[in-house]
Amino acid sequence: MKRLILIVITVITVFSCGKNRGELIGVKQKKWFPEKPYGMTLIEGGSYIMGKSDEDIAQLNNAAARTVTVPSFFMDETEITNSEYLQFVRWVKDSVTMALLARKVDELELGEESQEGIAEFSFKNADTSDLSEFQKYMRSNYYDLSEDIYEGKALDWDNDIQLSPEDYPDQAYVEVMDSLYLPPDLWYDGEMKIDVSKMIYKYTWFDAQGAAEESKRTRNKFIDRRPFIKKEEIENREFVEHIIDFLEIQAIRKTPVGRLPYGLQKRVELGRALAAQPKMLLLDEPMAGMNVEEKEDMCRFILDVNDTFGTTIVLIEHDMGVVMDIADRVVVLDYGRKIGDGTPDVVRNDQTVIDAYLGVSH
């Protein structure tokens, strides 16, 4: 019986191994397709013929034609083509040029009534006499919130910008266009070059679907709130700049926090907390891990926060030297039980506190 069982086990083992000697070979006759990564798009592979003029730096036209094969690959869905990027750059250039021309027209006080030379590029509806009451209201409430007096004014795109120097209509136009280019000593091979530092742009977007989902928000609340958003943003930025100056971190404002020394990281954390303009600030062991110099700086800033902003500071700290130096009132806990409460001098001489920290003799 034992021999029969052994023979059966041997046969099963042999048949289970098969021709592939126990290797995992997968399921046959099924092609595997990789899953498309999130946010990516598949660029199909293909081939093209590179001719004699391609990559022919010497322009000898004697390079042999060859076929180049490009495998498929994934690319970020937000990537754009070179032509799309060039189109964007031209949009920015045209917008900046049009805005500068319109500002120049306004400075010269030419207005829309004059339609010669640079005056053709005045702001659209610069003359408000023909505007409806609603349009006047929108201009007064939305266009003038920024410190820039031209913020929000519409450009007149009915006229084509003249980019060729031969087509400049007048001296004022020449002055504006000249400001967009680098000085002649920075030209390359005698060719005028645009000053890329002038290509400053910004964009805004409106989430129509998100606004539609705000079903509980009344129309009046939605409209009345908007004129103050820009003003509040300006005020918030001014306050943040004040905090940066207050904490003396101007030199590191563009440095990633993770690259800063530990003491400066703590100072940045204090600044983030102050940005919320709290009436009471809870600091949990702000001196932990600091050296003596860093502790002195942090103590100074904590005291200055209380004096400058009037913020009440609740400090949890185990460094008794720091606590006794800067606190107006000290509360001592021992395993969650309050054993001391009063001024630093009172707590320092409290026998219960001394016993808890130094221990008692038995």
Measure the CA–CA gap between 205 and 28, rounded to whole angstroms: 52
pLDDT, tens digit, for every residue of 199-239? 887 776 666 666 666 555 555 554 555 555 667 777 888 88
For residues 112 and 194, state if they share a domain: yes
Length of the chain as a residue count: 362
The verdict on residue 222 lying in a domain is no
User: For residue 53, what are the domain limits?
Assistant: 2-76
Give 292 or 77, the one with higher predicted confidence.
Answer: 292
pLDDT, tens digit, for every residue of 162-188? 888 888 888 888 898 888 888 888 887
C-alpha distances in angstroms, 337 versus 47, 115, 137, 341, 353?
78, 83, 63, 11, 12
For residues 134 and 113, state if they share a domain: yes
Measure the CA–CA gap between 154 and 144, rounded to whole angstroms: 13
The verdict on residue 23 lying in a domain is yes
Give 154 or 56, the one with higher predicted confidence.
Answer: 154
For residues 193 and 141, state if they share a domain: yes
Last residue in a domain, options 182, 198, 214: 198
Last residue in a domain, options 198, 218, 253: 198
Total-model pTM: 0.38
Last residue in a domain, options 50, 76, 102: 76
For residues 104 and 174, state if they share a domain: yes
Domain count, the chain: 2
For residues 68 and 107, state if they share a domain: no
The verdict on residue 209 lying in a domain is no
For residues 57 and 142, state if they share a domain: no
CA torsion 321-273-301-342 (nearest 10°) is: -40
Residue-level pLDDT at 155 = 82
User: Which run of H or E residues covers position 218?
Assistant: none
For residues 65 and 106, state if they share a domain: no
Judge whether residue 29 has pLDDT over 60.
no
The verdict on residue 108 lying in a domain is yes
The verdict on residue 346 lying in a domain is no
Measure the CA–CA gap between 245 and 296, rounded to whole angstroms: 18
How far the first Cα of the chain sits from its last, in Å, is 80
The verdict on residue 167 lying in a domain is yes
CA torsion 237-238-242-248 (nearest 10°) is: 50
* Cα dihedral 68, 71, 74, 77 sign: positive
For residues 64 and 86, state if they share a domain: no
The verdict on residue 262 lying in a domain is no
The verdict on residue 164 lying in a domain is yes
Measure the CA–CA gap between 261 and 252, rounded to whole angstroms: 11
